[in-house]
């Protein structure tokens, strides 16, 4: 039994550990977690770059990894509090982007400025309880290799973006996108597909 499973079976102890790691009603870990624990727990390649103003709100009880030659730009927030976050090699996370786990980003991915990827949703159905006090649901986001997400894109929980797909700037993606497809809009719809027979990109009519 790993530590996470052990704590999940002991709610009281889990709450104490949680308070030691994160201040009450906050998502950012305490300074000593970031400086003294995370560097020994998480996998960050020595050639990767995290800009000075980026926030790594990562905790030791969920995985975080950053591949070789990948860059997390200024003002980004990466949060693994409710699910692991992995970023493959040679990927670029643009300025001001927010990534909330569970999220897996592959290799050679370009993510533009101010993109939001959130594998988390709040439960709201009980009108007698404030939404912030209701449970959360998580559903993993997957961004496959070689994708490009334009600026100001939102990727909703549970969505997979297939290999070498493109999401046009400003789009809201609520359903999974097939490989070698261009989508855009709110909600996003297919704009182009790659035709392997013709060996060209074909617009949707």
> Pick the catalytic residue: 18, 24, 45, 122?
122
The closest alpha carbon to 154, from 124, 178, 184, belongs to: 184
Give dist(CA 29, CA 7) in Å, integer. 18
| Residue 122 bears catalytic tag | yes
Asked if the bond preceding 106 is cis, omega within 30° of 0, the reply is no
Give dist(CA 86, CA 105) in Å, integer. 6
Residues assigned a catalytic role: 122
């Amino acid at each position: 039994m790993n530590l996470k499973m052990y704590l999940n079976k002991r709610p009281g102890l889990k709450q104490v550990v949680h308070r030691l790691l994160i201040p009450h009603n906050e998502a950012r870990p305490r300074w000593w977690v970031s400086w003294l624990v995370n560097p020994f727990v998480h996998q960050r390649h020595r050639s990767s770059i995290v800009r000075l103003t980026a926030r790594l709100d990562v905790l030791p009880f969920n995985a975080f990894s950053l591949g070789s030659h990948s860059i997390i730009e200024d003002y980004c927030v990466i949060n693994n509090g409710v699910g692991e976050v992995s970023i493959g090699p040679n990927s670029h996370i643009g300025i001001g982007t927010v990534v909330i786990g569970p999220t897996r980003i592959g290799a050679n991915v370009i993510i533009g400025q101010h993109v939001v990827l959130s594998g988390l949703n709040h439960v709201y159905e009980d009108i007698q309880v404030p939404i912030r006090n209701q449970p959360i649901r998580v559903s993993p986001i997957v961004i496959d290799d070689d994708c490009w997400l334009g600026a100001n894109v939102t990727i909703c929980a549970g969505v997979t973006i297939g290999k070498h797909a493109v999401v046009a700037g400003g789009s809201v993606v609520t359903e999974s996108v097939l490989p070698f497809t261009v989508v855009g809009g709110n909600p996003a719809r297919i704009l182009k597909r790659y035709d392997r027979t013709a060996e060209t990109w074909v617009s949707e009519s």
